[in-house]
Amino acid sequence: MVAVNRLHDPLRRQFASDNYAGVHPEVLAALVEANGGHEKAYGYDAYTARLREVLTTHFGADTRAYPVLNGTGANVLALQALLPRWGAVVCAETAHINTDENGAPERVGGLKLLTVATPDGKLTPELVDRQAWGWGDEHRAQPGVVSITQTTELGTAYSVGEIRALADHAHGLGMRLHMDGARIANAAAYLDVPLGALTTDAGVDVLSLGATKNGVMFGEVVVVLQPDIAPGLEYLRKVDMQLASKLRFVSAQLLALFEADLWLRSAQHANAMAALLRAGVEPIDGVRLTQLTESNAVFAALAPGVADRLRQSYQFYDWSEGEVRWMCAFDTTPADVDGFVAALRAAVGAA
């Protein structure tokens, strides 16, 4: 047997992204269980069938679920399924579909993004109206979808009421509501509500259900929540190169996450570590917290020179001018947080 030589320190944690974390042991165990023997390909397997059943317990009997390979694919596929070729999406300027998907919704999806500036990453009906206009004007892409990110790219969480207000407003305009739920588990954990309360019950039409940031190796799900919308999505999934041949290995991971409470346990832990991190850094001179901590993210502005010194010990991302983001994950420990806080104190003192 040929083994892979370990090329990293498995005890080292960073605060750059929850994508840096490995695979949750329970998810790895599910992959092992799904392995061996032959099983039907392209989603006709027992694991994908069971996943669809499980997701109806979260999102309702009308749920239709389409496992895909990654989050960008899920978002592009969901938006394409909701729009004609001339359609447009209203979203926040900070939305992942606008800032971190390299133009994929527009270049691959063939749709137009109409962005709105927001102070906290969240849209409101009033902000939607800044771009939701021009129907019947052949010179303007036709607004057909409002897309929100839960939690937002600034770590803030939409409440159930805020989502319902957006859904009602969008539907009143003849538009659909899409949710990029890459970190919906963190939002549900923070708000202490079930997944369905943030989606189906609040009027969301289509959800990109995230898993990778919560302990899965690879795989997300496009979940159609309302009946009689997004027809032909199974064909679009193939066209968009998001249909895995050995789909059972995507579905088995998602089953490990959503069949019981692993999705919630992992998100609760990541959120708790972010709260601990916030409490540790808030009293430090030269650190100003810039956003509410409503998930597993902490945003801060640092005194000049501090970030560069801190990066000698830890990796993290600059987010905007003078602002940085620190992320916790399902495997972040209190000791990791303590080490980071100590390094930040030392960096502030040195600066």
Q: Is 31 among the domain residues? A: yes
- For residue range 85-135, what is the model confidence (pLDDT) as tens digits? 999 999 999 999 999 999 999 999 999 999 999 999 999 999 999 999 999
Q: Are 284 and 334 in a shared domain?
A: yes
Q: Are 251 and 291 in a shared domain?
A: no
Residue 1: per-residue pLDDT: 62
Cα 177 from Cα 82, distance rounded (Å):
9
**Listed residues 258, 284, 310: the one ending a domain:** 258
Q: Is 140 among the domain residues? A: yes
Chain-wide mean pLDDT for the chain? 96
Amino acid identity, residue 93? E
Cα 107 from Cα 336, distance rounded (Å):
40
Q: Are 253 and 294 in a shared domain?
A: no
Q: Are 253 and 268 in a shared domain?
A: no
Confidence of residue 4 (pLDDT cuts 50, 70, 90): confident
**Listed residues 224, 258, 292: the one ending a domain:** 258
Q: Is 10 among the domain residues? A: no
- The domain total for the chain is 2
Burial 154-192 (b: 16+ CB within 10 A, else e): bbbbbeeebbbbbbebbeebebbbbbbbbbbbbbbbbbe
Q: Are 73 and 185 in a shared domain?
A: yes
Q: Are 320 and 204 in a shared domain?
A: no
Residue 240: per-residue pLDDT: 94
Give the neighbor-by-neighbor strand order of the sheet with 64-68: 64-68, 220-224, 206-209, 176-181, 142-149, 87-92, 112-116
**Listed residues 214, 229, 258: the one ending a domain:** 258
Verify cis geometry, omega within 30 degrees of 0, for the bond prior to 56. no
Nearest partner of 151 among 195, 185, 109, judged by Cα: 185
Q: Are 233 and 216 in a shared domain?
A: yes
CB atoms within 10 A of CB 207: 29
Q: Is 213 among the domain residues? A: yes
Please name the residues in contact with 32: beta carbons below 8 A apart, sequence gap of 6 or more.
none
Percent of the chain predicted with pLDDT > 70? 99
Cα 227 from Cα 237, distance rounded (Å):
18
Q: Are 132 and 269 in a shared domain?
A: no
Q: Are 34 and 130 in a shared domain?
A: yes
Residue 275: give the domain boundaries.
262-350
Q: Are 83 and 183 in a shared domain?
A: yes
- For residue range 150-179, what is the model confidence (pLDDT) as tens digits? 999 999 999 999 999 999 999 999 999 999
Q: Are 283 and 165 in a shared domain?
A: no
Domain containing 91 — which CATH number? 3.40.640.10
